[in-house]
Amino acid sequence: MALPISFDYGYLAPDVDFDEVTSYQDNVDLAHKKVTQGGGLGSDYLGWVDPGKIVSPEEVQKIKDLAKQIQDNSDVLVSIGIGGSYLGARAVIEAVAMPGQGPEVIFAGKSLSVHEHYGMLQRLHGKRFSIDAISKSGTTSEPAIAFRLFRDALERSVGKEEARKRIVATTDASKGALRKLATDEGYATLNIADDIGGRYSVLSPVGLLPIAVAGVDIDALLAGARDVAAACANPDVTKNPAYYYAAARNFLYMKGYTIEIFATFEPRLHYVAEWWKQLFGESEGKSHISFFPASVELTTDLHSMGQWIQQGRRTITETFVIVDGGEPNLLIPAADNNLDELDYLVGTSMAEVNKAAYHATALAHRDGGVPNSTVHMTTRDAYSMGALLYFFERACGVSGYLMGINPFNQPGVEAYKTNMFALLGKPKFEKETEAVNARLAALPKNTVVEF
C-alpha cells in the first residue's frame, strides 16, 4: 500500500539538486545508524524511533478506557501541559478531530497569562470537566501553576473525592513532583518513558489521551506512524522522503539559507506548524548553528508576509505541507451578475482554487529565489497525520545528526527559568537571586522612552 506522505523536491533546484543530495548518502547512512542503533549524541532519547514500541497494547487499552470514562463524565477535558507536553495533542486534535466526537479539549498551562487562565476557568462554570495534567518532570512552572488552579476549581465544583476520579496525571513512571502527588492522591496515571523527550512524545500517552478524548482514532494515528517508520528502514535518500528532506535542508543551510518556513494552505494545520517549529527549533537550535523555523498560513499570509517571502532578504527556504484530497465538495455557485468576475469559476470546487493558489505560490516563490519543497499528504485523517508527524520526527533526528548536534537535548531552555526562579525567590535559588538582583541594579537607569 502506498504511504500517505511523499516529498517533492522539484523547486529546490538549482540551489540543491538531486545529485548533491544523493552524494550525501554516506553521511545519511551514518545518521540513520545513529537514529536506529544509537551511538550518537543524546542516544538515551531514541524511544520514539519505533512507534510500535512507544505504547504497549495494554497501555493503548488503558488510554482508551480513560478516554471513554472522560467522554462519559465530562463536557470538557482540561489538558494541562507546555511545549512537548502540549503541542502534539493540539496539532492532531485541531487537524483531524470532528466536532461533537468527544468533549471539548482545552489547553491550559501553556502560558502564564492571567487572561487566558481566568477566561478558561470562567468558561468551565457549570460544566462537567476532567483534567489531564501532563508533565514529564512534574516541576515545570506553567503547568504546575495551572494544575493548582484547575484542581482547585474541580475540587470546589465536585468535592475532593470526586475530583480525584476526574484527574489523570501523565508523568514520569517513578520520579518527580507530579508522580508523587498522583500517588498520594490516588489519581489515575499514564507513564512517560525516560527515553522519549517532550517534542517527540505526541505518539506516547502525552498526546494519545487528549487525542483519544477528542474522538480521534489513535489506532489509525499509530498505524500511520508505524508504517512510515517501517519504510524508513531503507536509508536510501531516493526511496526515503524523510531522509531526502533532511539531507536537502542541510545543503540549503550550508548554502546560506538560514530560515525555514513551514507553509500550509490548510488552517487546520496551524498547530502542526507550531509543533514542527518546536520539533526543529529545540532539536537543532544549538551551537549557534541551524535554521530558524518559522511558519505561514496561506493564502492568509500571502496578504501579509507574501511580500517579504517574494522579495525580502534571500535567506529563506520554504517547506509546503499540502493536503491533496479529502475535502468536502464546496463548489463556487453561479450569481445574478459577474461583477466579481468569478463566472469562469462557477462549478469549480474551492479545493481546486486552493490547489491552484499553492502551485502558483510555489512557482512564484521559486522565481523569487526561494528554494522550496513540498510534503504531500494524501488526505487529512488520523492515519495520514500519524504518518506526517513521524515523517518530521524521523527527518529531524537524522537532520540533527547530519548537522553534528545533539537533536534530543535542550540545554538552552534553562536560562530563563533560572532567572525567573531567582526573581520569584524560589527556595534553593538564593545565590541566583542575589546575582540577578545585582545585575538588575547595575543596569543603566532611565532607559524607558515615554510620551
What value, to the nearest 5°, has the Cα angle with vertex 175 and ends 173 and 176? 115
Provide the 3-class DSSP secondary structure of residue 64.
helix
Determine if 210 is a binding residue for ligand PA5 (CB under 6 A): no
> What is the contact mask toward ligand PA5 in residues 132 to 161, using x (rule: CB under 6 A)?
---xxx--x--x------------------
Q: Which of the residues 115, 125, 288, 303 is marked catalytic?
A: 303
Residue 207 binding ligand PA5, by CB under 6 A? no
For ligand PA5, give the closer residue by CB, 28 or 225. 225
Verify whether residue 417 is a known catalytic residue.
yes
| CB-neighbour burial class of residue 417 (10 A; exposed 0-12, middle 13-18, buried 19+) | middle
- Residue 198, interface with ligand PA5 (CB under 6 A)? yes
- Comparing C-alpha atoms, which of 262, 377, 362 is closest to residue 322? 377
Shortest Å, Cβ 410 to ligand PA5: 6
- Please work out, in degrees rounded to the nearest 5, the angle formed at the alpha carbon of residue 224 by the alpha carbons of 208 and 392: 85
Instruction: Tell the smallest beta-carbon distance from residue 312 to ligand PA5 (Å).
Output: 30
Catalytic pick among 142, 274, 282, 297: 282
**Residue of 165, 286, 417, 426 marked active site:** 417
By C-alpha distance, which of 41, 113, 2, 152 is closest to 403? 41
Stretch that binds ligand PA5, among 29-37, 52-60, 193-201, 210-218 (CB under 6 A): 193-201
Instruction: Tell me how far apart the alpha carbons of residues 367 and 90 are, in angstroms, rounded to a whole number.
Output: 35
The residue from 84, 205, 371, 407 that contacts ligand PA5 (CB under 6 A) is: 84
For residue 118, give the amino acid letter: Y
Q: From residue 399 to residue 418, what is the string marking binding to ligand PA5 with x (rule CB under 6 A)? A: -----------x--------
Identify whether the C-beta of residue 221 lies closer than 8 Å to the C-beta of residue 407.
no
Q: Which of 36, 71, 79, 85 binds ligand PA5 (CB under 6 A)?
A: 85
| 162 belongs to the catalytic site | no
Per-residue cell: 164: 480525584
The grid coordinates listed for 66 are 480513560
Longest Cα pair distance anywhere in the chain, in angstroms?
Answer: 75
Active site (catalytic) residues: 282, 303, 417
Applying CB under 6 A, the residues found at the interface with ligand PA5 are 82-85, 135-137, 140, 143, 197-199, 282, 410
